[in-house]
Amino acid sequence: MVVSSVAELITEKIDSMPAGERRAAQTLIASYPVVGLKTVAEFSQQAGVSSPTILRFVARLGFQNYAEFQSALQDELAAQLQSPASRTTTPLSPLPASSAPMLEAVLENIRETFRHISERQMADVVAQLANQRSHIYLIGGRFTDPLARYMAAHLNLIRPNVTHLVGQESLWRDRLIDMNKRDTLLIFDIRRYQDSLIRFAEKAHQRGTTIVLFTDQWLSPIARFARHVIAGRTAVPSAWDSSSALFVTVETLIGTLTRKLEAEGARRIREIEDLR
């Protein structure tokens, strides 16, 4: 049985929540999962709602009580902090007889990712990327930057003003001078979350740049700076997390955006071909 993370449950149910519970959900996502590990009174104070509202919020997510809710968050925090070394199978573990378990895990990750991403979320991100007045910047971590590079290559074909940030952290910081509230920063960050990306996201957020975060089900700390959060399933029977679900999400966004910018994109592609 696939167990949804608390963040995924929030994504599923937030549109049906009353205003107070929605504030509780937004407060939790902004400091995930730490706020939820505090007492009900502390959580309610930080969210600016009553303690009964917090308990109703927890119940709406499907938990029997606050202790069960916190236990789920504690399990997620433990998973969030895992390193590849802690997930490596021991020498005594038998090798799988086939690639089937890995394939099934990847396919299940894709299914679960799209089960928890709403049409509204996807539409909001596409609308953000379709804004021709916005300069789009993309960046990823050690293992996720290929996703940023892949997406940037496609975006450059169908719209102007797209930059993939590469190189050393000091070079990223130099680009902050050009970022403002009209611009969009797409960041890819999965466990173990990259400190340099978190610092960069915070500075971009301070400049008013809209941040779209692609992360895992446990949520990078960058979520507290992001306007849009796309969470993909990454855990597989391996020492390494899989980016397959995020890759499919990226391709879905590219396909939808290409249709939305069909006339502009076709014109740009023709001009690019003429220049070759």
Q: Assign domain 104-275 to its CATH superfamily.
A: Glucose-6-phosphate isomerase like protein; domain 1 (3.40.50.10490)
**What is the pLDDT at residue 92?**
44
Q: How confident is the model at residue 210 (pLDDT cuts 50, 70, 90)?
A: very high
Mean pLDDT score of the chain: 91
Sheet holding 228-232, edge to edge: 162-164, 136-140, 184-188, 210-216, 228-232
| pLDDT above 70: residue 89 | no
**What is the pLDDT at residue 86?**
62
The Cα 135–Cα 137 span in angstroms is 7
Equal CATH topology for 6-81 and 104-275: no
Dig out the tokens for 10 from the structure.
Answer: 């929030």
User: What are the residue ranges spanned by the domains of the chain?
Assistant: 6-81, 104-275
Domain 6-81 CATH (choose: 1.20.1260.10, 3.40.50.720, 1.25.40.10, 1.10.10.10): 1.10.10.10
Q: How confident is the model at residue 138 (pLDDT cuts 50, 70, 90)?
A: very high
**Average pLDDT of the segment spanning 140-166:** 96
| pLDDT above 60: residue 93 | no
**Average pLDDT of the segment spanning 108-119:** 93
Dig out the tokens for 49 from the structure.
Answer: 């709602």
**What is the pLDDT at residue 88?**
55
